[in-house]
Amino acid sequence: MTGQPQIGAVFPQTELGGDPAAVRAWVQAVTELGYRHIAVFDHVIGADPQVHAGWDRAYTVETTFHEILVLFGFIAALTPLELVSSVVILPQRQTVLVAKQAAEIDRLTEGRFRLGVGIGWNAVEFKALGQRFSNRGRRFEEQIELMRRLWTEPSLSFAGRYEQVTGAGIRPLPIQRPIPVWIGASADVALARAGRLADGWFPQAQPGPALVHAAAVVHGAAAEAGRDPDAIGMEGRIPLSEVGADGVADRVRAWREAGATHVAINTMGAGLDTVEDHVGALGTIAEALALNRRAPSSAAANR
């Protein structure tokens, strides 16, 4: 069992539209309520179900998504909270560019950034971005290796199977060297990858037998790789639509008992129509969890 997990909130961008005023209002409110970090989901392009027959996934061409890394540049000026990508679909993006963007966000947040990454599930999106979907898992591991070198070495040469850098580097380097890389995972192969490579992971299961299994795979892979399983963070997610405001405290307790170091409250899909509705729900939860009494007294405490 860990200590009390750090409590954050998921930015409900699919329900707030593209209004920058809504972004500002939500971020500032979450900061004042005592949450410790802001998690943001990532998609670049949506599929049109009328073109892609049988499409049954949650997001479509009608779903609003801010570009996550540009959004973080905006949010960084509004709050001292830690920013968390949950998650960037890394194999559909250029590795060196993501490393550069992440380093910039880390600078803008003064070292309060976690880069959550995953391999993704949307083949339509990969094709639109000019990347292969079928080899994304293999490319993913090499991408993480290269990014960590780019964040810690002023100049490097890298000759991988998919990535090539010759005598080059990024500047300025990030404050965190390297930036923490967290992996979103559900399948056993992805969970094992998180255990081998990640600083932390995002489970796709809630507390219960599925989470116990997932954690065992992560910890087993970490031990086999000579890593300390207890040093790998875990961020749980609590869907308000599933537990209701009255059930959040019990679910936080369950995540803590499961070993979570972080928990994010997700208000999407809970029938909340406006930024005021989302903020109101988060305010009720913050009061129930006494977040203001546990909030750090300065930005430095978030690091």
Rounded average pLDDT per 10-residue block, the chain, 303 residues: 86 92 97 98 94 90 94 98 97 98 98 97 95 95 98 98 97 98 96 98 97 98 98 98 96 98 97 96 96 56 35
pLDDT at residue 294, rounded to an integer:
62
Q: Please name which of 89, 90, 76, 88 lies closest in space to residue 38, comparing C-alpha atoms.
A: 76
pLDDT at residue 2, rounded to an integer:
58
Please provide residue 18's backbone torsions phi and psi, each rounded to the nearest 5 degrees: -105, 20
* Structure-token pair, residue 234: 């875990």
The structural architecture, per CATH, of the domain 6-302 is: Alpha-Beta Barrel (3.20)
* Structure-token pair, residue 33: 């309520």
10 Å Cβ neighbour count for 136?
20
Q: Look up the pTM and report it.
A: 0.94
Stretch (H or E) spanning 37: strand 37-40
Alpha-carbon gap, residue 244 to 295, rounded angstroms: 23
- Locate the domains of the chain by residue range: 6-302
Alpha-carbon gap, residue 263 to 241, rounded angstroms: 16
What single string gives the DSSP state of each residue in 130-160? T--STTHHHHHHHHHHHHHHHHH-SSEEEE-
10 Å Cβ neighbour count for 36?
23
pLDDT at residue 21, rounded to an integer:
96
Stretch (H or E) spanning 293: helix 291-294
- Dihedral class, residue 17 (left if φ above 0, else alpha if ψ from -120 to 50, else beta): left
What single string gives the DSSP state of each residue in 207-254? TTHHHHHHHHHHHHHHHHTT--GGGSEEEEEEEHHHH-GGGHHHHHHH
